[in-house]
Every structure is written in C-alpha cells, then in structure tokens.
Amino acid sequence: MSDLLAPLDADQQSLVDLVAEAFLREDYQWPFFDYIEGMLDLEGRDAWTILETFPELGRWRYSALFWSRSGGAKPSAESEVELTIVGFSHAPALREYVSVFFEVVDFLCACRLQTGPQPRVARKLTVSSDEFAEHWRASRHLWPRSSFRRAWRRERRSSQRSAVSLPCSKASK
C-alpha cells in the first residue's frame, strides 16, 4: 500500500509546487499539462515520467494529482493537471487550505444532519457561500493567508454566486 502523505522526492515536489503556483497565479484555474511539460522540459526533466512516480491508492488511482485519464495514458496537452486535497497538503503555498476544505465538509455534514429524511420527500440541501462565511465567522476561525481573503471577496462581489447542492434540503425540515 502506498503512503500518500509520505514526503515527496525532489522531482515530485517540484511538480506539485509548479501546479500550485500556476493555480494561484491564474486566479484559481488549473494549468494545462502542456504548461507543466514545457516548464519541466526547460529544466531537462520529463513531466510524464515524474507524474508516473506519485503514489496511488485504490482502483481510482487517487494521488496528489488528478487529470483526465483515458486508460492510464499520458495527459493530453490541454488536460488540466489538478492537485487533490493530498496534493494541497504537499504544496506549501496551498497547505493552509486543507483545514478550510475539512471545515466546509464538516459544515455540509452538519447541515445535512439538521434535515431529517421524509418518506415521500427527497432532501435537497443548498448552502450559499454567505451561509458558510457566517458559520466560519461564528466559530471564530481566522481566515487563511491574504490570497484566500482576496479570492473570497472577489467571489462575494461576483454576480454569479454558486451554491452547493447535495441530496438533502433545509427547506424540507
């Protein structure tokens, strides 16, 4: 069994850092494989060879990185290379977001538990970013680094606020 949280070797860490830095620089958009490959080519390293060395878990091949796989083949030039929550934990620039992720999961679980199942009503849960922000402030968490605060403000100002939908509903209490 592989140890997903074991320290990465130098090449793996370099690739994770490259993905994390591009993600932050590009306003939270994952970089294409072509970018990762090109940047590592400049250093004389092969991105695909490094990607293949990351420990994986299970038949879904969960690891620090994710990309669309078709038969385990090399990512296409336009495949986004993403960090999983394990990848975030390996990236110094993103490590502080791991606790935010688990706080969101805990919040969503608590919301779901507040809604009892009904025999003839399917539960649907919708939680807005404002509701989570209220919960976050009420539990007196400190916001992570300023880049996260900037992203939060930008999201709140945008006219298209997205809600998270799960198979339960506050309205069906």
Q: Which of 21-25, 107-111, 137-141 has the highest mean pLDDT?
A: 21-25
Q: What pLDDT score was predicted for residue 153?
A: 53
**If phi over 0 gives left and psi between -120 and 50 gives alpha, with beta otherwise, what is residue 171?**
alpha
pLDDT of 172 higher than 60: no
Convert the pLDDT of each residue in 6-39 to its tens digit.
Answer: 899 999 999 999 999 999 999 999 999 999 999 9
Residue 45 pLDDT level (bands cut at 50, 70, 90): very high
Which long-range contacts (C-beta less than 8 Å, at least 24 apart) are formed by 37-41?
Answer: 37/77, 40/14, 40/15
Residue 95 has φ and ψ, to the nearest 5°, of: -55, -35
The mean pLDDT value for 41-65 works out to 90
pLDDT score for 113: 86
Model confidence at 105: pLDDT above 50: yes
For residue 50, with 0-12 CB atoms within 10 Å meaning exposed, 13-18 middle and 19 or more buried, which class applies?
Answer: buried
Mean pLDDT score of the chain, rounded to an integer?
81
Domain map (residue ranges) of the chain? 10-90, 97-172
- Bigger pLDDT: 106 vs 46: 46
Residue 149 pLDDT exceeds 60: no
What is the reported pLDDT for 61? Answer: 80
What average pLDDT does this structure show over 125-129?
Answer: 85
* Mean pLDDT across 34-50: 97
